[in-house]
Chain A
Amino acid sequence: GENVEQHPSTLSVQEGDSAVIKCTYSDSASNYFPWYKQELGKGPQLIIDIRSNVGEKKDQRIAVTLNKTAKHFSLHITETQPEDSAVYFCAASTRGSQGNLIFGKGTKLSVKP
Chain B
Amino acid sequence: ETGVTQTPRHLVMGMTNKKSLKCEQHLGHNAMYWYKQSAKKPLELMFVYNFKEQTENNSVPSRFSPECPNSSHLFLHLHTLQPEDSALYLCASSSGTVHQPQHFGDGTRLSIL
Please indicate whether A and B come from the same complex rather than being unrelated chains: no
Q: What residues make up the interface of B, taking CB atoms closer than 8 Å to A?
A: none
Q: What residues make up the interface of A, taking CB atoms closer than 8 Å to B?
A: none
